[in-house]
Amino acid sequence: ELKVEQNPLFLSMQEGKNYTIYCNYSTTSDRLYWYRQDPGKSLESLFVLLSNGAVKQEGRLMASLDTKARLSTLHITAAVHDLSATYFCAVDIFVGSNYKLTFGKGTLLTVNP
Amino acid sequence: SAVISQKPSRDICQRGTSLTIQCQVDSQVTMMFWYRQQPGQSLTLIATANQGSEATYESGFVIDKFPISRPNLTFSTLTVSNMSPEDSSIYLCSVERPPFAGAVRYGYTFGSGTRLTVV
């Protein structure tokens, strides 16, 4: 059974600081997603990573994937308050006849002024 | 990405009753997915619904408790049956868009969710 582990689960940081969220998974996969969820809201797609070495960046967020290490990172640069949310990584694997998405537990990010 | 309309957005229900959640997509999709997000937790896949066939349920979820309909390629319903307070969660539907090269974000799109409270 695929296990997806995120750390840290809780992250409190000051504005302007940098930090990285890690996502480890236990089974070979080449499809990994990062999502953001604001309180009481649904999931917003941030990035999809499809190959080893893939790097995607948008604004203050950058995601990367190392399929050999089964590791993805979400790096936050110069954090601002608006980035406060819960961030999920999710790994897609082919099971039977379909892809199946398995989520990490999420990282609750709080950016303090 | 796909636009998904999910309703109701929230409901408060009495234990022992049932609630049907609807999910409408703006274009045809092969598979639709139903997830549960318990308070403060991550998302767990309940079942995958293909049009014209029985839904495929994940371990820990059964059809009698969570019957799913998929009458066409743009619509699905999830019923939470004989509810108890433990069923209080957010329920989300999701669809997948095939990836295309160069895109920053795509893949699975989620509905706005149904926040269910069972009292």
Question: Between A and B, how many CB-CB pairs are < 8 A?
Answer: 58
B16-40 burial: b if 16+ Cβ within 10 Å, else e: eeebebbbebeeebebbbbbbbeee
Q: Does the pLDDT at position B110 exceed 80?
A: yes
Contact call for A31 and B108, based on CB within 8 A: no
The per-residue pLDDT for range B60-108, each reduced to its tens digit, is 999 999 999 999 999 999 999 999 999 999 999 999 875 555 554 457 8
Residue ranges of chain B whose CB lies within 8 Å of a chain A CB: 1, 31, 33, 41-45, 48, 56, 92, 94, 96, 99, 103-113, 115
Q: Is A51 on the interface with B (CB under 8 A)?
A: no
The per-residue pLDDT for range A27-60, each reduced to its tens digit, is 988 789 999 999 888 999 899 898 888 899 999 9
Say what the pLDDT of residue A24 is.
Answer: 97
Pairing of strands A10-14, A107-112: parallel
Contact call for B99 and A102, based on CB within 8 A: no
In three state form, how does the secondary structure of B28-92 look? CCCEEEEEEECCCCCEEEEEEEECCCCCEECCCCCCCCCCEEEEECCEEEEEECCCCHHHCEEEE
3-state helix, strand, coil in chain A (%, to 5): 5, 60, 35
